[in-house]
Amino acid sequence: MVDGGGSIERLVEIKSGYIGETPERAIPREDMMKENMTQQEKMAYMAGIIDGEGYIGILACGPQKGENVTNFKVRLCITSTSVELMDWLTENFGGNYYTKVPKSQKHKVGYTWQLNCSQAGRVIESVRPYLIIKRKNADLLVAYRRLQECKVKTHVGEFKFPYSLRTEIKSCINRLNQRGPVTTNTPDVKVLVTKIESELKRNLERQFHEEQSAR
């Protein structure tokens, strides 16, 4: 058994999008979304959707007022042709979705749901234990968000951590999101996460010393 009152087998069924011990009893995804899932089952199901149809990445934005470098925002997107799924995502996780009308009548109308910044970070951290395909993306962005949320700045008016590290994180997540197999320069996420954690520790230590000096 696992926390939340469900078995491991139950979570596998939830993540794959079907419930039932036999194919005859299987319930498809859209019907399952109407069930009263436990919070753990909901996160496992969400992880399955993200692994199959989702995008975990970083969006580059223009400089904010008073800044002269590019800003980066964590982004979580899910693309589907099911408006029922879009409504379920919005109801359970917030955010919004937009419609993409196909150029050809041979294709269905598509929808893309998205979350940004802290909202995206919270969902990614919650579903991270259940992710398989996009686990590295989640590991990297959970560490990145922790550093983003650190309130200490290197110097007055400067970013909370080196811009070079931010661009390195962005480059790594872009390579993880490449389509097809990555045969060369495979990102070493563990090394980069360790670097992020070291920067976070340095910031927290500086904050502690600054608070002690102010007393």
CATH number of the domain bearing residue 87: 3.10.28.10
**Looking at residues 99-111, what average pLDDT do you find?**
86
- 2 found inside a domain: no
Q: Is the pTM of this model over 0.85?
A: no
DSSP character at residue 63: P
CA gap 175, 159 in Å, rounded:
24
- 170 found inside a domain: yes
pLDDT score for 147: 78
- How sure is the predictor about 136, in pLDDT bands with cuts at 50, 70 and 90? very high
- 77 found inside a domain: yes
- 3 found inside a domain: no
Domain total for the chain?
Answer: 1
* Both structure tokens of 49: 């959707």
pLDDT score for 166: 83
Region of poorest pLDDT, from 5-9, 59-63, 99-103: 5-9
pLDDT tens digits, one per residue of 140-194: 999 888 877 775 554 444 445 677 888 888 889 888 988 766 555 666 888 888 8
**Looking at residues 207-215, what average pLDDT do you find?**
75
DSSP character at residue 195: H
Average pLDDT of the chain? 77
* Both structure tokens of 174: 């872009």
CA gap 80, 33 in Å, rounded:
15
pLDDT tens digits, one per residue of 59-75: 887 666 666 667 788 99
The domain containing residue 163 runs over which residues? 8-214
- 83 found inside a domain: yes
- How sure is the predictor about 56, in pLDDT bands with cuts at 50, 70 and 90? very high
